[in-house]
Amino acid sequence: MPWYDGLVAFLDAQPPETRRLTLDFAQIEALVGAPLSRSAFTSGYWHAGRTSVLTRELAVCGWAVAAFDRYAGAVTFERTGP
């Protein structure tokens, strides 16, 4: 889905030794080029399961959501592939 392209490209460009990466909401908004929806401030948005578009797009580039911190306004991504 094009909406996630900037985030996916950013994660995909990380060097292989980068195994975890935390981005705050402002950084994610900058990468996707738009404000996050209100639902993005809930854990369900980031941990929606294997059927979510976000989960599938992240899996394509070998990443997954490892943690969501609503209070810090941040999401931690973890590399799932080599």
24 strand-pairing partners: 74
Q: Exposed (0-12), middle (13-18) or buried (19+): which is 9, by Cβ within 10 Å?
A: exposed
What is the C-alpha separation between 52 and 28, in angstroms, rounded? 18
What is the C-alpha separation between 37 and 78, in angstroms, rounded? 22
What is the C-alpha separation between 64 and 23, in angstroms, rounded? 13
What is the per-residue pLDDT for 51?
Answer: 66
Is the overall model pTM greater than 0.75, yes or no? yes
Which tens digit of pLDDT belongs to each residue from 30-45? 999 999 988 888 877 8
Domain count, the chain: 1
What is the per-residue pLDDT for 78?
Answer: 96
3-class SS of residue 41 = helix
Q: Which domain holds residue 31?
A: 2-79
Low-confidence stretches of the chain (pLDDT beneath 70): 1, 48-51, 82
